[in-house]
Amino acid sequence: MIIRDPEFYPPPENPVTWLGRATVNPCRGAGRAVLLFLAALKAMPHVFGKRARKETVYQMFTMGIKSLTVLSVVAAFTGMILALQTGIELRRFGQEENIGTAVMMSMVREMGPFMTGLILAASVGSAIAAQMGTMMVQEEIAALEVMSINPARFLVMPRLVAMALMTPLLSFYSCILGVVGGGVVGYTQLGVPWGVYFDNAMLYVVNRDLFVGMLKALIFGVMIVVIACHQGFSARNGAVGVGNATRRTVIISFLSILLVGYFVTRLFYY
Amino acid sequence: MIRLEQVTKQFGGNRVLDKVDLEVRDGETLVIVGPSGVGKSVTLKLMVRLLTPDQGRVTVNGEIISALDGRSLEIAREKFGMLFQGGALLQWLTVGENVALPLREKTNLSEAEIVARVREKLELVGLQDDYEKWPADLSGGMRKRAGLARAVVENPRIILYDEPTSGLDPVSSRLIDDLINSLRRQMNVTSVVVTHDLHSALAIGDRITMINDGAIVETASPARFIESKNPAVKQFLAAQYITRRGVWEEGSS
Ligand SMILES: Nc1ncnc2c1ncn2[C@@H]1O[C@H](COP(=O)(O)OP(=O)(O)OP(=O)(O)O)[C@@H](O)[C@H]1O
Ligand SMILES: [Mg+2]
């Protein structure tokens, strides 16, 4: 699962080998990340052990509480921007009291989980990758393995559980803030009264929207942890390798969040 | 008994070990010496399958560890304790928690038993006062000694030491040498020690083996080793001011 023997390839000789390698290597990486995820899933029953429980709660705390400030700001401003843009357009038709629906729908269905995912990828994901990468290059992971302490159980599983529990909550929280932010803009800039705004916001949204949004956030959270741990465990060559692992974690997480987000939406709403 | 049979290991174009045969007998202390970057750490890692040989195989008590995987590998590794070159302590646990980690994770010992055992092992390496310290606050030598305490806390049958005395003052170095010797005498532990420190090699080794240029150039008892005719060994000895009849024998070094 953790591949320690480094792989070496001769430099590509022609465009065909280059193309082949550019296709095969990401697939291989993805496959290994999935194996890591399965190994962590298999270790899931251990989460009720005393130490794992403590570690999971601690991880939930660091992931949730420490990213709360930036998430609050981003969520509120997302709602405010949504309200402002749709409000300006709708005002041309005298429909500005309908911004409630627009803000609520975009937040709950897309922007809430999406913003949560991006922020956690940039903060928590990069932190996990840096930590795992440092442990890898300092042989701490190797030491764990010699002690027969499975890193998938000891390191990945608590983070996975913590993230899977925290992301739906954080996503829910960012939806609330976004809607409130939209309400503030509606009240101050567009002259939509509070009561009208919130009545309108609750008009079309259904539990299913909330459920799909939170499911999406959960999927994002799981992906971020798996990508970060996999990249960290693949770190080689000291500090440079840790830097690379961190950078790639953020990039790959962003891309996967966009991609998977689209397909989940398609699956549930099309 | 650990055996490397015709083991070849290369990293890209860099062939580190080339068809190496090596045997570690039960209950002996085998010392591996050699210039820096020659593959000593790689040899140790091959023994616990932190690395896999490209060719050849590694066996431990007849079991081919280089082909094991998953749970059976974990079971095979239970026999081993390993001290890594940098200590490899987990940075977010204190020294005491680090040493206690294998006990907490894998045994059902009570907390009191664990603490007692950890204190005992820390005392062995002279760190009894550093139970609560963080690894980042320790010196390199102290980290290494804490790593050693963790390596022996489960009373393993085989211990692999990667440069246990490098970076240590002479007094602590002899403390570690004594520890390696006493583990061997009291519990018949099999040890493989990688070191640059010839004094400690001569003091603890039953046999000394030298790796150079991907091959084993000499394996001999300490007395024979310093008499070796091999030019690489001679150069290695001369560099540490040991020329033929050991200065160490008179104890005047
Ligand atoms: N994971 C790895 N990836 C690539 N090359 C490696 C890896 N591990 C070791 N090497 C190479 O193998 C060679 C031997 O390394 P090793 O760490 O075994 O040396 P050593 O004999 O322990 O040296 P030192 O005494 O300095 O610790 C070096 O050239 C090193 O670059
Ligand atoms: Mg080494």
**pLDDT, tens digit (0-9, with 9 covering 90-100), for B2-53:** 999 999 999 888 899 999 999 999 999 999 998 888 999 999 999 999 999 9
> What are the tens digits of pLDDT across the range B53-90?
999 999 999 899 888 888 889 899 999 999 998 889 99
Give the model's pLDDT for residue A3: 65
Q: Which of B14, B83, B210 to mutate to test the pocket of ligand 1 (most atoms within 8 A of CB)?
A: B14
> What are the tens digits of pLDDT across the range B82-140?
999 888 999 999 999 999 999 998 888 899 999 999 999 999 888 889 989 999 998 88
Residue A154 vs residues A161, A236, A260, B148: alpha-carbon distances, Å: 12, 21, 28, 21
Contacts of A38 in chain B (CB under 8 A): none
Unique residue bearing structure tokens 């997480």 = A253
Judge whether B76 is closer than 8 Å to chain A, CB to CB.
no
Residue A8 maps to a domain: no
A260-267: long-range pairs with CB below 8 Å, 24+: A260/A219, A260/A220, A260/A223, A261/A110, A261/A113, A261/A114, A261/A117, A261/A216, A261/A220, A264/A212, A264/A215, A264/A216, A264/A219, A265/A109, A265/A110, A265/A216
- pLDDT grade for B252, boundaries at 50, 70 and 90: very low
Has residue A237 got a pLDDT over 60? yes
The β-bridge partners of B59 are B3, B64
Residue A10 maps to a domain: no
Judge whether B245 is closer than 8 Å to chain A, CB to CB.
no
**Residue A75 CB burial class (10 angstroms; 0-12, 13-18, ≥19):** buried
Give the model's pLDDT for residue B244: 52
d(CA B42, ligand 1 centre) in Å: 6
Mean pLDDT across chain A: 90
Could you tell me which residue, B253 or A102, shows the higher pLDDT? A102
Give the model's pLDDT for residue A10: 75
- Specify the 3-state DSSP secondary structure of B245: coil
* β strands within B164-250, DSSP E: 190-194, 207-212, 215-220
Has residue B247 got a pLDDT over 80? no
Judge whether A242 is closer than 8 Å to chain B, CB to CB.
no
Contacts of A147 in chain B (CB under 8 A): 77, 101-102, 105-106, 150, 154
pTM of the predicted model as reported, rounded to 2 decimal places: 0.90
Of B12, B80, B82, the CB nearest to A8: B12
Asked whether the beta carbons of A205 and A179 are under 8 A apart, the reply is no
Could you tell me which residue, A1 or A105, shows the higher pLDDT? A105
Cα distance from B12 to chain A (closest Cα, Å)?
5
Give the chain B residue whose CA is nearest to the CA of A142: B50
CB atoms A8 and B101 under 8 Å: no
Give the model's pLDDT for residue B80: 93
Q: Which of B9, B18, B33, B40 to mutate to test the pocket of ligand 1 (most atoms within 8 A of CB)?
A: B40
Has residue B166 got a pLDDT over 80? yes
Instruction: Tell me the fold of B29-54+69-252.
Output: Rossmann fold (3.40.50)
Residue A253 maps to a domain: yes
Judge whether B32 is closer than 8 Å to chain A, CB to CB.
no
Residue A211 maps to a domain: yes
Has residue B253 got a pLDDT over 90? no
Cα distance from A238 to chain B (closest Cα, Å)?
13
Q: Which ligand is nearest to the CA of B34?
A: 1
Distance of CA B137 to the CA centre of its chain: 24
Judge whether B104 is closer than 8 Å to chain A, CB to CB.
yes
Q: Which of A3, A136, A236 to mutate to test the pocket of ligand 1 (most atoms within 8 A of CB)?
A: A236
Judge whether A110 is closer than 8 Å to chain B, CB to CB.
no
How far, in Å, CA of A120 to CA of A176, rounded? 18
CB atoms B105 and A149 under 8 Å: yes
d(CA B251, ligand 2 centre) in Å: 28
How far, in Å, CA of A129 to CA of B70, rounded? 24
Give the list of residues 6+ apart from residue B66 with CB closer than 8 angstroms, or none. B46, B49, B52, B53, B56, B57, B58, B59
Unique residue bearing structure tokens 């909550």 = A169
Judge whether B84 is closer than 8 Å to chain A, CB to CB.
yes
How far, in Å, CA of B105 to CA of A51, rounded? 8
- pLDDT grade for B242, boundaries at 50, 70 and 90: low
Cα distance from B5 to chain A (closest Cα, Å)?
19
Give the chain A residue whose CA is nearest to the CA of B48: A146
Indicate which atom in ligand 1 lies nearest the CA of residue B14: 29
Mutate to test the interface with A, among B47, B50, B144 (most CBs of A within 10 A): B50
Give the model's pLDDT for residue A252: 95
Highest mean pLDDT among A181-190, A248-257, B35-44, B159-168: A248-257
Number of domains, chain A = 1
Judge whether A59 is closer than 8 Å to chain B, CB to CB.
no
> What are the tens digits of pLDDT across the range A32-69?
999 999 999 998 888 888 888 898 999 999 888 888 99
User: Nearest 5°: phi and psi at B63?
Assistant: -90, 135
Other Cβ atoms less than 10 A from the Cβ of A237: the count is 11
Residue A95 maps to a domain: yes
Give the chain B residue whose CA is nearest to the CA of A141: B88
Provide mean pLDDT across the span A9-32: 87
Provide mean pLDDT across the span A100-114: 91
Tokens of B190: 């099999």
> What are the tens digits of pLDDT across the range B187-225?
889 999 999 888 888 889 999 999 998 899 999 998 888
Q: Which ligand is nearest to the CA of B36?
A: 1
Cα distance from A59 to chain B (closest Cα, Å)?
13
Could you tell me which residue, A7 or B205, shows the higher pLDDT? B205
Residue A38 maps to a domain: yes
Judge whether B185 is closer than 8 Å to chain A, CB to CB.
no
- pLDDT grade for B243, boundaries at 50, 70 and 90: low
Could you give the angle at the alpha carbon of A256 between the alpha carbons of A251 and A261, nearest 5°?
A: 135
Could you tell me which residue, B12 or A112, shows the higher pLDDT? A112
Residue A65 maps to a domain: yes
Indicate which atom in ligand 1 lies nearest the CA of residue B42: 18
Give the model's pLDDT for residue A123: 93
Tokens of B224: 């024979």
Ligand 1 site, CB within 6 A? A 6; B 11, 14, 16, 34, 36-42, 85
Give the model's pLDDT for residue A258: 95
Task: Convert A111-166 into a string of H (helix), E (strand) and C (coil).
Answer: HHHHHHHHHHHHHHHHHHHHHHHHHHHCCHHHHHHHCCCCHHHHHHHHHHHHHHHH
| Residue nearest atom 30 of ligand 1, based on CA coordinates | B37
Residue A2 maps to a domain: no
